[in-house]
Amino acid sequence: MISSLLRSLWLVFRHLFRRNVTVQYPDEQPYLPPRYRGRIVLTRDPDGDERCVACNLCAVACPPDCISLQKTEDEDGRWRPEFFRINFSRCIMCGLCEDACPTYAIQLTPDFEMSEYDRQNMVYEKEDLLINGPGKYHEYSFYRVAGKAIAGKGKGQGLNEKKPVDLHDLNL
């Protein structure tokens, strides 16, 4: 027993001469990979439209329930969030919202420097979250593959869709 205790002491003592593993943040900025789970953004599809269709899946997946939104439908037939709010003072950066998102709209970024003196400033609205780009997924556009018709894409014009059935056609 005593030898094991002494061995522990010796092993720990030897670390006096090891290099530090910690980084002197913020003097030194560490490298964060692109898939690091930091500040959440809402992205746009390649055509520049909001990707979020207000399906509410991120909100229900969120363990601390810090996402809230309201669906609205625009003239063009697209679903959009009327408001989209993330309370970052509750967010645990788990990334489940990104996993749940069926349209790649919600994505986590390698930015984590979000400290505020006033907690109220940690509440981000859609305007604060929306970025002008597609984020990590450059080509995906939900409405191109969805069956719902929107302005500029009628029934049967989506990816892998036949022309709408004409009921007056005898060759059904």
First to last CA, the chain: 87
The two tokens of residue 159 are 């990816």
Q: Looking at beta carbons only, is 30 or 102 nearer to other proteins? A: 102
Contact residue for other proteins among 30, 34, 35, 60 (CB under 8 A): 60
Pairing of strands 79-87, 106-108: unpaired
Question: C-alpha angle 41/45/49, rounded to 5°?
Answer: 90
The two tokens of residue 80 are 């959009």
Question: Rule CB under 8 A: which of 67-86 touch other proteins?
Answer: 67-73, 79, 83, 85-86
Question: Rule CB under 8 A: which of 1-30 touch other proteins?
Answer: 5, 8-9, 11-13, 15-16, 18-22, 24
How far apart are CB 23 and other proteins at their closest, in Å?
A: 10
User: Which of the stretches 28-36, 39-47, 54-62, 126-134 binds other proteins when contact is defined by CB under 8 A?
Assistant: 54-62
Cis peptide before 26 (omega within 30 of 0): yes
Could you count the other beta carbons within 10 Å of the beta carbon of residue 87?
17
The two tokens of residue 86 are 């993330």
Can you name the residues that pair with 123 across neighbouring β-strands?
Answer: 87
Question: Rule CB under 8 A: which of 117-146 touch other proteins?
Answer: 119-120, 122-123, 125, 142, 145-146
The residue ranges that bind other proteins (CB under 8 A) are 5, 8-9, 11-13, 15-16, 18-22, 24, 53-57, 59-60, 62, 64-73, 79, 83, 85-87, 89-90, 102-103, 119-120, 122-123, 125, 142, 145-149, 155-156, 158, 160-165, 167, 172
